Structure formats: C-alpha cells, structure tokens
Structure 1
C-alpha cells in the first residue's frame, strides 16, 4: 500500500536519496522489504521538492511505474534540494484518476502523501466529506481515499491549525469514522516533517550534527541508525530534532475525537 519518504538536510541530488541507495524508494516500487499490504508499487509515483528562496514546491508525477520513466532518472540526477517528499503508489482499487491520484498532493507550501487505505471507502467518509466547504470538495485532485484525507487535513491547515495538531486531528477523525483504516500520513512544508504511524511501518534516520533527517516507510539502506516509529505515534521532525508523541485510538462513538496537542505532549520522547 505505497511507500513514501521525506527529507530535510543539506541539498543533495534527488537521485542520491531516491535512486542510489541499495533499498531506495525507486527499488521499493518493485521490491519493498517491509510492506505489510500489497507487493508492487507500480500505480504511479511522484516527488515534490523545494528550491532555495521559493516556499512553494515543484512536483513531478506520473501514472505509471517509476522504473519506466527515463525522464525521471535524468531529472533525479541533476536536480538538487534540501527538502523533498516522494512516493510510489499501490492503488487501493482501480481508478481512472491516473497522475492526479499520485502523491505528493500539494497546496501552497505543503506536500502530502498517504500510505494506507480508508476502510469502507467511500461510504465511511461521506459525513466527513459533507463537512467540507463545497469549493474545497470540488477542488479535489482525484476521487481516491487519499485525496479526501488530504482535503480534510488541508481544511485544518488553511483554518490556521499548526501542522502536527492538524495531522493528529485528521487521523483521529478518519479513524473514528472508518475503524481499521491504515493511516500513515506524511507531510512537509520544507522546514518541518510531520508523520503518523498508524497501521503500517514508519522509520526515521536523524543526524542532528549534519542537520539531516529522513522519514520513510522503510529504511533505504542498511544503516543501524534507522529507528522504527511505534504504531499509533505522531512524529514531528526538523533538521536538528525529532519528537515522538503517542496517539490514542478514538472512540467511534465520539463525533469529534481530539488528541493532545503534539506541541506540548505528555508523555514525550525527544530523540537525538
């Protein structure tokens, strides 16, 4: 059910992060090592990256498998960035959305990806969809579950919620409406990475001395410095710090589940 990766650190060619490592996201498109659901991520791919001085990221997305796109290989060789989010897709069900359904989704400074699925889709999120302003609902890039989860998160961000809190509240809302969903969400604005481990694997690699942080569905190399994120956890990371905050399963009977503020969590686990 998809693989994704976000990076903050010194500028590097995209290929050094996405193609060259022995278990890179590129390789995970056909040979993921820790994917619990699905086997091949060939239903689309994308990468979004930030250029110096421009807060709005660029994107490159395609509907087919990443290994079949020679243009991406050339782009990844020469484009450099100190912040990116990339994903390879295994679709929950067949659809006609093509490239529009490939992560990362984007708006303003934000990039978003969803590794997982919404149980009972689409009926389970009908009420959540009706809660969105019509203009936002009509602006969905695709009709897949990930696109609606992104719309719910984006509505909170545009309303002024901080990224970690908006992410935690979105997971709580979707999990309450659609129990047994897998909601590994990954978001960045180019300075902060926020992610949730909810039903699938999530790992991070952190080197504060180098100002370098990577968050991924699974490690892209065999370094012993990778740390697995416990399930039901919110991760918030910058270049020099990583914070893990436990998340609670919402009560499906609670119409407005809330989580503790990840900016002041109890308990918390700072990671060096």
Structure 2
C-alpha cells in the first residue's frame, strides 16, 4: 500500500487555478521531497494532503484512506511541521510539548518529551519560556512537537530554515532515522543540497503541475549532461584540429575539453581515429541546483 496517492488533483481559488492536475505517489518508509519555486503550488498541495483544504477535483489517498470520508483516521496517522511555528511564547518548551502530547493521546508524556528533547538537543532550555528562544531553538521545538504520538506520515515544510549548520546536520540525521524506523517523510525545502542528501525520491512542481520525478540520481542523469575529455599534452593541438575539422563544438576548460552529451561520443571516436591519446573521459556530475534550473526553464518554455 502506498503512503500517498494523488490523481488528477486540481485546486482553484475563485478564477485562479493553482494546482492543475497533480499526479504523484509516495512509498511507505521513504523520504519524498517536493521541490518548486515560490508560488508553484507546494503549500497548496500540502494543505490538501493534510486535510486542511479540499481539492477542486481529483482524488487523494493517505495510507489507503480517503481524507474526505475518513478525515479523523487520516489525521491520527500524520503530523505537520509547517513553515510557521505554532508555539505559545508564554509557555515553556516543556509545557508546549506536554499540551500537544496530551492532545495526541500520548500515554507516558514525560518519557516521550524527555526522549525527544535529548534527540533534538532541547534539554538545556526546555524549562525556559519559548519567547526567549532563538529562531533555531523554536524550529527544533516545533519539530519535536510534530513527532509526538508516533505519527506514521510526517510532513516537514522547510524544517531547517533558520537552523545553524550543526543543528541542521542533527536534524538531517533525525529525518534519516525516522525513515529507517519505517516512517514516511514528506519534505519540502529551499536547500537543494538538503534534498540531494536526504531524498529517496524527488518531484518538481512548476505552475501547479509535477514536471519531473524520480530518484535524485535518475533525475540528474536525465538532465542534459556535459562530459569532460582530456588528452595527452603532446596531442592537444591535434585534438583541437581534429574536432574543428569534424565540426564538433567544444569548450576549453581548466581540466580539458567540455562537450555536450550529443557531441561527446562523436568527439571521442574522432580523436581515437586520429591517434590522439585520451587520458580522461567521463560525464560531469550534475547537482540538483543545475537540475532545478533546467527543469524550471524547460517547463517555462513549454508553457509559452
């Protein structure tokens, strides 16, 4: 059974369409990351998945349940860590956690709070009023609140925004531990290195539509790649002349010759036929930032 199945979901606000036929599936026990520019529809989709909003059309299934007819069951299975924290500044961290723990029916409230406080490095300031917390401390406390009650599906909407590097890495480790414990994590983030480091699957949303999805490695491979080719120093002049005569475009770089995926194989063949010694030939590693820019550019051109 899939953790999430979305089919043909649209969402209109009056005459304004925001989601325009979203289709996606999320496996149980994986970290799934939704990426997109501001205004692409990420928050609208999360609101629908977490029962805060209803789609205009289409269907959603959460752990096999329809949120429209089994809303209470669905909500018991999930938690939402939203961008805007929901903390009471006049309460201490412990009091905030205790309130949510009791609402979620936690049996041993002190034990669960202490366990989360230790995992998220909250113990030293748990008894201080939240209004004295830094932004990063508030974010960690808010994340702890969303993990109370052992939810099976956890929505993390930009959870590391405003968190210092050390605690950001600690949160990454905790997210991985949630996945390793069989939980499903639905993540959004503006940090592409975070998506690359954590995600089992990624989907890009643009203008209300999923435009590309897959594992990080598969997505990076499908984006237009470049290759670096190096030749023996004594053969550099011959290599340049050979590629020029064959009409193969290339760009000199510090590390050799850069070629598009379309030109790489013909270039290698031409150089080897000319007796040039090729010392290195490999596809350049593509990062998610390049993928993101490429995907949004392609999607924008498709809409013209």
Question: What range is the shorter-chain TM-score in?
Answer: 0.3 to 0.5
Which has more helix, going by share of residues? 2
Larger Rg: 2
TM-score between both structures, scaled by the size of structure 1? 0.34
TM-score calculated relative to the size of structure 2: 0.31
